[in-house]
Amino acid sequence: MIPVAILEILKSIVGKGWVLTDEADLAAYAFDGFCMEFTPDAVVLPQNTAEVSAILRIANREKINIVPRGAGTNLSGTSVARRGGMVMPLSRMDRILEIDGPNRCAVVQPGVVNADLQKALEPYGLMYGPDPSSWYVSTIGGNISLNAAGPRALKYGSSREHLLGLEVVKADGTVIKIGSKTSKNAAGYDLPHLFCGAEGTLGIITEATVRIIPLPEAERTIQAVYANLDDACATVSKIIAAGITPSAMDLLDQTLIDLIQGYGGVEFPEGATAFLLIETDGHPATVKDEVGKIVNICNAYNAIDIQVARTPEENEIIWRARRSIGGVFSKVCKTMINEDATVPVASLPAIMKTVLKLRDKHKLNVGIMAHAGDGNLHPAIMTDASNKEEMQRVDDFAEDLYRETLKLGGSLSGEHGIGLAKKQFVSMQFTNEALLMMRQIKELFDPNNILNPGGYIDETT
């Protein structure tokens, strides 16, 4: 519980209406996309850096936990009050401060929604590379803190590759500015990138300077359908080996194809067991050339149906199949758990086979969506969180999956972070020395461990 006297001080900082303690208000912040419930003691919504700093000074002095929060869409359990204390949504800090076209960067507050930034950049012929599927709601602060990415990470990179500088408030309330607007920067330790994947444990991001890039002149989307999953995986490897870098190369397996068949007009031919969505963008002549090469490779690997969109509307129809997935799970299961195993891209066929084997071993309903060109797999486990016995099998599946992923030289996460979801597996990926180093960094920024405690970095858990 937070003492009343402290709540009064917080109200004097942000205004009475911006400190929430009613049960119904707290319940609204008790969940994120991982669906484990942690009700905070209070929710405090600052409007500017000075308020964030003042709140942190009090919290640090009183040793009250603070969980920074964007839109709460993360899938790993990292924006809930796992150890009590207050949740601090940055949603009131949602201004785009500057679009600096000549220097190819934008300066934004952390609560700016990704899609709003994209929309604001469009009239300038510019875009922001990271495109998580949650972009209509998720925020730049949350994206950076989890190093979020999307289909076009294959060509343009994740949030990390677009981060140039930050304004951050440390746990003791000190405001620091790190990085710069320059596209090159070789001065000193690379502090801004420490915050990519820090999951809100090192400081509160109050401003971000991000790289922006020109909108491609042309783009074409290709849909290739296969009767054999191995052929689809081989197509991916061949495209990469041929030196082509599509702007997206996503794969769906048969379970997901069957789920979305007919949904919103999506249709796959009979016998479809794998679907590849491949997008290429850039100069029109390059795009034309790449489309030809990609189609040849798809044919060489026995695609049973290939469609190349000729118009933006046809592009959209192909993307609809891919985007339909989020909407169909609620029709077929109570709980969907989205894993995030990532392997070196040449190991894609091996990890796909492993997932199918583990699905049968643990008798679970699992569909696979993959950002295939990045070796980033999202096995979607369709389950029911209230079924304890089944949830044990889900846990066993995840443990086996990540063990095999790491054996292939992979990582526990490509874009969703560790959070509570994979905290128990961290020592499988990191040595004790590496974990100790991370804890020492954490201690330097936040000696009282008030910033989002209860995550993978805590020694005590």
Ligand X SMILES: Cc1cc2nc3c(=O)[nH]c(=O)nc-3n(C[C@H](O)[C@H](O)[C@H](O)COP(=O)(O)OP(=O)(O)OC[C@H]3O[C@@H](n4cnc5c(N)ncnc54)[C@H](O)[C@@H]3O)c2cc1C
- Which residues would be at the binding site for ligand X (CB under 6 A)? 32-33, 67-75, 78-79, 90, 110, 132-134, 138-139, 141-143, 145-146, 148-150, 199-200, 204-205, 326, 415-416, 452
By C-beta, is 233 or 421 nearer to ligand X?
421
| Least Cβ distance, residue 164 to ligand X (angstroms) | 16
- Is there a contact between 208 and 450 (Cβ–Cβ < 8 Å)? no
| Least Cβ distance, residue 137 to ligand X (angstroms) | 7
Which residue in 205, 178, 225, 199 sits closest to 74, CA to CA?
199
| Tally of CB atoms within 10 A around 11 | 15
The two tokens of residue 256 are: 């997901």
By C-beta, is 170 or 359 nearer to ligand X?
170
| Least Cβ distance, residue 427 to ligand X (angstroms) | 20
By C-beta, is 73 or 449 nearer to ligand X?
73
For 89, the 3-state DSSP assignment is strand
Tokens 């600052």 belong to residue: 46
Q: How far apart are CA 382 and CA 366, in angstroms?
A: 6
| Least Cβ distance, residue 94 to ligand X (angstroms) | 11
By C-beta, is 329 or 430 nearer to ligand X?
329
Q: How far apart are CA 355 and CA 377, in angstroms?
A: 9
Cβ contacts of residue 176 below 8 Å, gap of 6+?
Answer: 167, 168, 169, 170, 203
| Least Cβ distance, residue 347 to ligand X (angstroms) | 21
| Least Cβ distance, residue 414 to ligand X (angstroms) | 8
Q: How far apart are CA 126 and CA 122, in angstroms?
A: 5
By C-beta, is 72 or 216 nearer to ligand X?
72
Give the strands of the sheet with 175-179, arranged side by side: 96-100, 105-108, 204-211, 163-169, 175-179
| Least Cβ distance, residue 227 to ligand X (angstroms) | 28
Question: What is the dihedral sign for C-alpha 296, 301, 302, 307?
Answer: negative
Q: In sequence order, which ranges of 49-156 are alpha helices (DSSP H)? A: 49-62, 114-121, 140-146, 153-156
By C-beta, is 33 or 375 nearer to ligand X?
33
By C-beta, is 119 or 283 nearer to ligand X?
119
Q: In sequence order, which ranges of 166-264 are alpha helices (DSSP H)? A: 191-194, 229-241, 254-260
By C-beta, is 85 or 150 nearer to ligand X?
150
| Least Cβ distance, residue 126 to ligand X (angstroms) | 21
| Least Cβ distance, residue 160 to ligand X (angstroms) | 11
By C-beta, is 300 or 332 nearer to ligand X?
332
| Least Cβ distance, residue 359 to ligand X (angstroms) | 22
Cβ contacts of residue 74 below 8 Å, gap of 6+?
Answer: 32, 33, 34, 142, 146, 416, 417, 419
Cβ contacts of residue 345 below 8 Å, gap of 6+?
Answer: 236, 237, 240, 372, 373, 374, 375
Q: How many Cα atoms within 13 Å fall on the side-chain side of residue 227?
A: 7
By C-beta, is 32 or 281 nearer to ligand X?
32
Start-to-end Cα distance in the chain = 21
